[in-house]
Structure 1
Amino acid sequence: MKVEILYVDACPNSREAGERVLAALASVGRADVEIEYRVLATSAEAAASQFAGSPTILVDGVDPFPAESVADLACRVYRIESGLAGVPTVAQLAEVFRGR
């Protein structure tokens, strides 16, 4: 399994996304999976990727939380049980990883 986090430097949620991905991987017994981080610095880079706002988490090249791709270097919002947040929950991520 390949996990990649696409982010922009100005987004405060990229670090927490990485921490939650690590916790979710550990919870499903996949602590061996490495996370690749890719910073996007231009709108052209964002438009050329599956970027849906920062952070975008890709699993095997697919966004498990479908959203429209954007060319803007902006933060992303995820829907979680309690409303909206800048990152998915560990439980949501673990559910994604269980299926892989």
Structure 2
Amino acid sequence: MEITLQYFDGCPNWTIAAERLAVVAAENPGVIVNRQLVESVEDAETIGFRGSPSILVDGRDLFPAPLTAAGLACRIYATPVGVAGAPTLEQLRKAIGAA
């Protein structure tokens, strides 16, 4: 399974997502995590980037946000303890397991 972490440099939350994805990858030897830096609004619009961090499995967003406009913005996630800048480790495990 291939996971892509999309992000832009100005977002402080992508590193949290990267750390959590590294844990998931260590737990699942078949999981490969790639990073995709989104550098411009034009790039964001071209690839349908819904904010940083975005996490795709085999090209599909694990946490779809179809009503969010494409662009360079920090993304928020609903977690069991409220909104956060990245999904929890448990949310990632569950979503990746279901993918």
Answer whether TM exceeds 0.5 for this pair: yes
Instruction: Tell me the equivalent position of 2:74.
Output: 75
Taking structure 2 as the reference length, the TM-score comes to 0.89
Q: Which residue of 2 aligns with 1:99?
A: 98
Distance 1:96 1:4 in 2: 14
2:40 equivalent in structure 1: 42
Structure 2 distance, partners of 1:46, 1:65, is 17
5 Å-filtered alignment, 1:12-31, equals 12-26=12-26, 29-31=27-29
* Conserved 8 A contact 2:25-2:32: no
Q: CA separation in 2, counterparts of 1:42 and 1:70?
A: 14
Please list every run of 5 or more consecutive structure 1 residues that lacks an aligned counterpart in the other structure. none
The number of residues matched between the two structures is: 98
Secondary structure of the 2:20 match is: helix
Match of 2:51 among 50, 53, 61: 53
**Contact residue 3 and residue 60 of structure 1 kept, 8 A:** yes
Shift of 1:32: 4.2
| Equivalent-residue separation in structure 1 for 2:98 and 2:70 (angstroms) | 29
Tell me how far apart the structure 2 counterparts of residues 64 and 35 of structure 1 sit (CA, whole Å).
Answer: 13
